[in-house]
Amino acid sequence: MPSFQSLPGFREFYPDALARRNHLFRVWRQTARAFGFQEYDAPVLEPLDLYRAKSGDEIETQLFSFIDKGGREVALRPEMTPTVCRLVGEKASTLKRPIKWFSIAEFFRYERMQKGRGRCFHQFNADLFGESGPEAETELIALLIQCLRAFGLTEQDFFVRLSDRNLWFYYLEALGLDKLRAQAVLGAVDKFEKLGDDAFKTYAGQFGPLDASLKDKVLAFLEIKSLAALEATLTALGGEKLAARLADWKKLLGHLTAMGLADYVQVDLGVVRGLAYYTGFVFEAFDRKGELRAIAGGGRYDDLVEKLGGPALPAVGFAIGDMTFALLLEQRGLTPALVSAPEVYCVIGGEAERRAAFSDIHTLRAAGFAVDYPLKELAFGKQFKAAAESGARLALIYGGDELAKGVVKIRDLTARTEHEVPRADILAAVRDTLTGERT
RNA sequence: GCGGUCAUAGCUCAGUUGGUUAGAGCACAAGAUUGUGAAUCUUGGGGUCGCGGGUUCGAGUCCCGUUGGCCGCCCCA
């Protein structure tokens, strides 16, 4: 046993694990670019106050925070939202709208480890600033869905639950509840799925038992699973705010349907997301089997940029965590068998042949091909075995017979065929075989 | 922060009521094998049995503590 262990909850990525992680990041990055999002990055270490300002003092117990040598209170970032709000807020007047940004970054939270949760993890974050209409949600929800679909996940595997905090407040207001009571009811709604009726205990403690008919109406609202049902309920109540909100819902779902994504989106007002800073649509992605914690979550936070010292700027964003997502891919057998294999493996006779081979090896490597060879002289049989195990597509055979003829034998390790090419043509020959197969 | 459970080789594990020098498979390395692919055979390197203390003539085994993993609760930005 080594004397030094990694810290609890921290992960080490051996090459095969890193290859899988890189694959996730590569696909996310490519997808975000396809949606016109630009990548940014920012410091891992931030002033502690940035998180206090957003989430309150109690957040500190869940942070990796300390005092640096300059006496500053600092914390490893537990999320990207405050940081990106600051970045955008500082340059808001000069950035072209809409501002569509994404990042792939590592985060740290001082928490107890659990399935799908550790003390360090990565998130894909995407945010859209400067658009207050549901067009912003359309882009983000579509991006979220595509970020999962790109791995082969389908509507059989996951879905996005869509809810709306504004709608809840307008609804509860229409039912005659004031703001404080409405917030308490929303807190109960947030916990209702897990606790059932007990979720309303906190409300009862604060304001007395919730009127039975009101509670029925709240629970009925939770039952709504379609736009049609939502429309029926809202039109019955009437009122301008609800009508305007309904129009937003229609637009958002209409656009997502036009994109062919309707089957991925479920109207579900049970999603509230406890965070106080969400101001409109909120959404979370779950696996259909319901075995895992949320895969992704996000929503609109129109007040946060201003709260963190920037100008008033509407915003919508979401994040996908890598741990639960990797579990889902694994469960569905969609983790690609990625090996960091060379493209070409050289089989080399002896020291004399090695000199000739080295010249070609370097030429091929300089041209960008992944080329490997045995560091020390080995029997041919072992070299062919090593070539096969390396995962290379091609073996180049530098034997005395070939070099005497001025050729190199190219063996296709998959097809188990081989042919000779003049040494001078080796780069072109390799390129011809491998081009089009590389990603 | 709380509870349950586990810890023996790189991996999966065996190890009897406490008893000689702690084992197997896989993996890794060398050889059989100096020109063609996951085979076979032989051999080898690898362990302070998580760590610390206790009981005992004797502890991988029993007891206590501790660290760490896994699972759940709280929380989940």
Going by DSSP bridges, is the β-strand pair A265-267/A158-164 parallel, antiparallel, or unpaired?
parallel
Find where tokens 């003829």 sit: A405
The count of other CB atoms within 10 Å of the CB of residue A59 is 17
C-alpha A412/C-alpha A344 separation (Å) is 10
Determine the 3-state secondary structure of A310 from DSSP.
coil
Strands (E), A237-328: 265-267, 281-287, 296-300, 315-321
The count of other CB atoms within 10 Å of the CB of residue A15 is 9
Percentage with pLDDT > 70 across chain A: 97
Percentage with pLDDT > 90 across chain A: 69
Residue A350 is predicted with a pLDDT of 84
Which residues of A spanning 123-162 put their CB closer than 7 angstroms to strand B?
Answer: none
Residue A299 is predicted with a pLDDT of 96
Asked if strand B contacts A63 at the CB level, meaning under 7 A, the answer is yes
pLDDT at A181 exceeding the cut of 60: yes
pLDDT at A276 exceeding the cut of 80: no
Tell me which range, A11-20, A76-85, A184-193, A377-386, is most confidently predicted by mean pLDDT. Answer: A76-85
- Respond yes or no on whether ipTM tops 0.85: no
- For residue A222, the cross-strand partners are none
| Interval A29-63: pLDDT, tens | 999 999 999 999 999 999 999 999 888 888 888 99
pLDDT at A416 exceeding the cut of 60: yes
- A55-64, long-range: CB < 8 A, 24+ apart: A55/A275, A61/A110, A62/A109, A62/A110, A62/A111, A63/A108, A63/A109, A63/A110, A64/A108, A64/A109, A64/A110, A64/A119
pTM reported for the whole predicted model: 0.92
Task: Determine the distance between A222 (CA) and B58 (C1') in angstroms.
Answer: 68
Cα A381 from chain centroid (whole Å): 45
Question: Where on the phi/psi map is residue A71: left (φ > 0), alpha (ψ -120 to 50), or beta?
Answer: left
Q: What average pLDDT does chain A have?
A: 91
Q: Domains in chain A, start-ordered, CATH in brackets?
A: 15-331 (3.30.930.10), 344-435 (3.40.50.800)
Mean pLDDT throughout A289-308? 93
Task: Determine the distance between A355 (CA) and B36 (C1') in angstroms.
Answer: 22
C-alpha A165/C-alpha A278 separation (Å) is 7
pLDDT at A288 exceeding the cut of 70: yes
pLDDT category at A436 given cuts 50, 70, 90 is low
C-alpha A419/C-alpha A64 separation (Å) is 60
C-alpha A307/C-alpha A404 separation (Å) is 76
pLDDT at A438 exceeding the cut of 60: no
Mean pLDDT throughout A182-206? 89
Which residues of A spanning 378-407 put their CB closer than 7 angstroms to strand B?
Answer: 379-382, 384-385, 388-389, 395, 397, 399-402
Specify the DSSP element, H or E, that contains A236. helix A227-237
pLDDT at A439 exceeding the cut of 70: no
Could you tell me the CA-to-CA distances from A420 to A166, A342, A363, A367, A380 in Å, in that order? 71, 21, 18, 21, 18
Q: Are the beta carbons of A252 and A132 closer than 8 angstroms?
A: no
Sheet strand arrangement including A45-47: A45-47, A73-76, A65-67
Q: Which two tokens stand for residue A334?
A: 């969609």
Phi, psi of A84 (to 5 degrees): -70, -30
Task: Determine the distance between A321 (CA) and B47 (C1') in angstroms.
Answer: 38
| Interval A150-161: pLDDT, tens | 999 999 999 999
- DSSP per-residue codes, A38-50: EE----SEEEHHH
pLDDT at A430 exceeding the cut of 80: yes
Side chain identity at residue A8, one-letter code: P
Task: Determine the distance between A309 (CA) and B6 (C1') in angstroms.
Answer: 49
Side chain identity at residue A349, one-letter code: G
Least confident of A68-72, A329-333, A360-364: A329-333
Could you tell me the CA-to-CA distances from A436 to A341, A345, A433 in Å, in that order? 17, 19, 8
Asked if strand B contacts A413 at the CB level, meaning under 7 A, the answer is yes
Asked if strand B contacts A14 at the CB level, meaning under 7 A, the answer is no
Q: Which nucleotides of B are covered by protein (CB under 7 A)?
A: 1-2, 28, 31-38, 47-48, 50-51, 67-77
